[in-house]
Structure formats: C-alpha cells, structure tokens
C-alpha cells in the first residue's frame, strides 16, 4: 500500500512527533505533582534521559508511547501498512534500547517504572500504580 502523503508532507508530519512533553507525559507529570511529589525532567546524566526522575528515592518513570516502544498486546502498537522494511527494524531497535537502558539503570541502583500511553486513560488505576511505585 502506497503512502497517502508525499515525502515532504510525511516528513513534516513526522517532524511534529515529540520525544518529550507528550500528552501522556504531561498527564503523568500532573498526576505525580498532585500527589505532592517533586521531580526532575529528562535528566541528561542518566542513561536514556529518563522522563521523570526522583533522585532522593532513586526512582525513574519513563512514559512510553505504545507505537514507538512496541507495547506488547496493545492496539496502539499496531504496525504501519507500508515500508515495513524500514519500520520493523526501527521499532525493534527502540524496544531493545529500552531494555538496555532499564538494565543499566537497575545495575546503578535505580528502580524503573514504565507508564504506557494506553495506561494514562484510566487515571484511577494509574494513580494506584504510581502510588505503589513511589511508596505513597
């Protein structure tokens, strides 16, 4: 199946995809802030520049998009219909990189939690998971 957008239009659309301050990340940050926690954002001296860092507690939260990070058994992680020879290795490498980064952080004594984009829809459940992770 051919792409419905021209290469220029596709490039422009892909350029709009952000790696920080996504809707899901902003929702998680507001929720954590409402629980009374303060945190650092996108700390560059840690592997993977974690989205949310609690230095005092040595805890990290990554907010992952289901498509980009290949959330298993999630409808949002569907594959594109075209250019699979490009997308499959790219998305697989994202997933491998996530695992490598988590392992590095855990070996350095950090606790790591991934919040998936699809989890943000149910704020009540998400609040419970974050409270459990942070030990509230």
> Which residue has better confidence, 87 or 31?
31
Between CA 121 and CA 18, with CA 49 as vertex, the angle to 5 degrees is: 55
**Do the Cβ atoms of 65 and 117 come closer than 8 Å?**
yes
**Do the Cβ atoms of 24 and 65 come closer than 8 Å?**
yes
- List the one residue out of 30, 98, 31 whose CA is nearest residue 66: 98
How confident is the model over 38-54, as pLDDT tens digits?
999 999 999 999 999 99
pTM, 2 dp: 0.84
Provide CATH code, domain 7-134.
3.40.960.10
How confident is the model over 66-77, as pLDDT tens digits?
998 999 888 888
105 CB-contact burial (10 Å; exposed 0-12 / middle 13-18 / buried 19+) = buried
């Amino acid at each position: 199946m051919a792409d419905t957008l021209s290469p220029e239009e596709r490039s422009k659309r892909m350029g709009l995809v952000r790696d920080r301050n996504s809707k899901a990340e902003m929702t998680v940050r507001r929720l954590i802030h409402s629980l009374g926690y303060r945190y650092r954002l996108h700390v560059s001296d840690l592997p993977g520049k974690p989205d949310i860092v609690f230095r005092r507690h040595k805890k990290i939260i990554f907010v992952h998009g289901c498509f980009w990070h290949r959330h298993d058994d999630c409808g949002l992680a569907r594959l594109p219909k075209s250019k699979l020879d490009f997308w499959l290795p790219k998305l697989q490498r994202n997933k491998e990189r996530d695992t490598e980064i988590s392992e590095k952080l855990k070996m350095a004594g950090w606790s790591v939690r991934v919040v998936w984009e699809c989890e943000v829809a149910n704020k009540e459940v998400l609040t419970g998971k974050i409270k459990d992770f942070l030990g509230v």
